[in-house]
Amino acid sequence: MNLDRLLERFCRYVKVDTTAVPNAGRYPSSAGQRELGALLVDELDDLELEDVEQDAHGLVWATLPSNARHQVDAIALCAHFDTSPETTGKNVRPTVWKNYDGGDLTLPGNKSLVLRVADNPAMKEYVGKTLVTTDGTTLLGADDKAGIAVIMEAIAYLVEHPELVHGPVRVCFTCDEEIGHGVDHLDPKKLAAVCCYTLDGSGHDLIDVETFSADLAVVTVRGINIHPSIAKGRMVNAIRAAARFVELLPKEMSPETTDGRDGFLHPYHLEGGVAETRMHILLRDFTDAKLVEQEQLLHRVAAQVEKEYPQSQVDVQVAPQYRNMAGGLAKEPRAVAYAELAHKNLGRTAERTIIRGGTDGSRLTELGVPTPNLSTGEQNPHSPLEWCCLEDLGAAAELLVELAQVWAKEGR
């Protein structure tokens, strides 16, 4: 891989503000996603790919045609434009640390923020390599512009090396993944691939084969508002009732106290006043049955709050978001097996892992396109302390090049 070009590519992409905007009422939710998409269309055109377009919804599509003499199944590569709304992605100034010395890194734009090895033990693996961080005032956007850069570099490499035999490779870049709408307008028939790979993972040499199943609960607490001077015996404060609702959620089921295959309940947004307060709660588990139990728990808590706050009303509405990809991947076992083989061919060992979250691959798999998730080296996503390693990006691009060749050889 041309690491200098890959670094330049990544740094160029992260400077485009693509922060997703919840409840924006439009798709994509931010203009920067279309801006980055237009930039990529130009680059894909320069590579002379086929079917290059930015569609009406802002998704970008392209096809690297097969150069094999035999029929090869098409595969797809996918990453998303948007960055998390949890930390601003405006005016990102990537900071490059070449030949990293193994010490703590004080971020130049906010010297009170220090990327400490004690808090990030993975940094010990990267002595002598090139790290990229934020300047401490924004997130970096490696989630998922690392994935975009990796895909673009791998495709460029395959174009530049026609002696490498590969089948058709479909490219798709999506919008608003961070706010749960990444594949709302992605037609699996248009993708036209037997499987897809999302490039949206942490570390290196990992293949994510399971995700949480996910629901979203919206809890509306209605009280009775009246002037506080005459409130005795008459006011029902929805804020206090909502606080009691949160208090009754088991602490052992919070993200702060769970890991591994544990599920959680996560109240993450609350707004309102005395008359009405609304909160959003994430329900997460690796099994759908446990999600049902979590929903039932919320209804029991609602009943308890109504009992403790007479005349209050607590309404719980639960909507599905995405489901564990494990079952769908079993329908196309080559998707993971060939990814493992590509690692092996490169002298690397792949590790099958689980995600305590979800990707576009969760929904794509649910829609019938088996989609495991591959590493791109993301570290501390959504945070001013976000960072990644250039060599991890290069290794991910190298893997995609090998993976395309494996499908051409094995997927006849």
Catalytic residue status for 177: yes
Non-local (6+) Cβ contacts of 46 within 8 A are none
> Which among 82, 176, 360, 378 is annotated as catalytic?
82
> Does residue 28 have a cis peptide bond before it, meaning omega lies within 30 degrees of 0?
yes
Nearest to 187 by CA among 363, 354, 374: 363
**DSSP letters along 16-68, please?**
S--B--TT-SSSSSSHHHHHHHHHHHHHHHHTT-EEEEE-TTS-EEEEE----
> Which among 17, 144, 177, 392 is annotated as catalytic?
177
Distance CA 175, CA 182 (A): 5
Tokens at 66, concatenated = 């097969």
77 and 399 Cβ atoms separated by less than 8 Å? no
Tokens at 257, concatenated = 């106290």
Catalytic residue status for 163: no
Tokens at 366, concatenated = 């649910």
For residue 188, the number of C-alpha atoms closer than 13 Å in the C-beta half-sphere is 14
SS3 readout for 188-242:
HHHHCCCEEEEEEEECCCEEEEEECEEEEEEEEEECECCCHHHCCCCCECHHHHH
Q: Is 335 exposed, middle or buried (0-12, 13-18, 19+ CB in 10 A)?
A: buried
Distance CA 265, CA 255 (A): 7
The beta-carbon contacts of 295-300 under 8 Å, at least 24 apart in sequence, are 295/215, 295/217, 297/249, 297/250, 297/265, 298/217, 298/219, 298/265
Maximum Cα–Cα distance across the chain: 84
Active site residues: 82, 177
